[in-house]
């Protein structure tokens, strides 16, 4: 077993464990911190999946921004007494999640991905069975500003609007509580 595979399994396991921690822990702060950990580990998975730039973005955004945002939000919304964080109906939720998981895994395993890959390559006009290569910031940037220029601009607009919306909504309001 090569190094990359071993690394993947280790990182993936860690990610899953920390993600489980996110949803079961009784402390909101731990939950948030575990989320950040889980997302940074996912960034490592991206690296293993040959997406360098994406890994960088993931770690920057989630490790940097999102964690700060979440911690601020938690700080600002501190409840008076220690709350119960999970519903009484959590076993039902767990059952639903497991069923979905089974369905997804079944689909993932039963699909003939090799054929799909051939079909996609054929549709793209490329030779089949091309070897995956590392996608760096240059390649992704070129793609974003040529083929995907319009969606990219729209995404930037969405971000702008979301920024303004968040400002308007979260601003200290004058009306009485």
| Residues within window 142-161 making contact with other proteins, judged by CB under 8 A | 143-144, 147-148, 151, 155, 158-159
Cα-atom radius of gyration of the chain, to the nearest Å? 21
Comparing C-alpha atoms, which of 17, 9, 19 is closest to residue 39? Answer: 19
- Of the candidate residues 82, 138, 150, 167, the single one contacting other proteins (CB under 8 A): 167
In whole angstroms, the minimum distance from the beta carbon of 95 to other proteins comes to: 9
Site for other proteins, residues 17 to 36, rule: CB under 8 A? 19-20, 22-23, 28, 31-32, 35
Question: Which DSSP string do the residues of 100-169 spell out, in sequence order?
Answer: HHHHHHHHHHHS-HHHHHHHHHHHHTPPTTPPP--B-HHHHHHHHHTTTHHHHHHHHHHHHHHHHHHHHH
User: CB 75 → other proteins: shortest distance, Å?
Assistant: 11
Phi/psi of residue 135, nearest 5 degrees: -105, 110
Least CB distance to other proteins at residue 54 (A) = 6
Q: Is 14 in the site for other proteins (CB under 8 A)?
A: no
Q: Binding pattern to other proteins, positions 58-97, x when CB under 8 A? A: x--x---xx--xx--xx-xx-xx--xxxxx-xx-xxx-xx
């Amino acid at each position: 077993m090569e190094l990359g595979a071993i690394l993947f399994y280790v990182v993936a396991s860690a990610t899953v464990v920390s993600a489980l921690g996110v949803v079961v822990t009784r402390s909101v702060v731990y939950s948030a911190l575990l989320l950040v950990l889980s997302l940074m580990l996912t960034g490592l998975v991206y690296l293993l999946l040959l997406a360098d730039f994406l890994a960088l973005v993931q770690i920057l955004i989630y490790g940097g921004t999102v964690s700060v945002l979440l911690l601020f939000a938690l700080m600002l919304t501190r409840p008076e007494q220690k709350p119960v964080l999970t519903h009484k109906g959590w076993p039902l939720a767990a059952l639903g999640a497991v069923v979905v998981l089974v369905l997804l895994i079944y689909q993932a395993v039963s699909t003939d991905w090799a054929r799909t890959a051939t079909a996609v390559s054929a549709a793209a006009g490329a030779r089949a069975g091309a070897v995956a290569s590392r996608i760096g910031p240059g390649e992704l940037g070129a793609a974003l500003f040529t083929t995907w220029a319009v969606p990219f601009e729209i995404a930037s607009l969405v971000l702008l609007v979301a920024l303004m919306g968040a400002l308007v909504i979260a601003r200290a309001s004058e009306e009485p509580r």
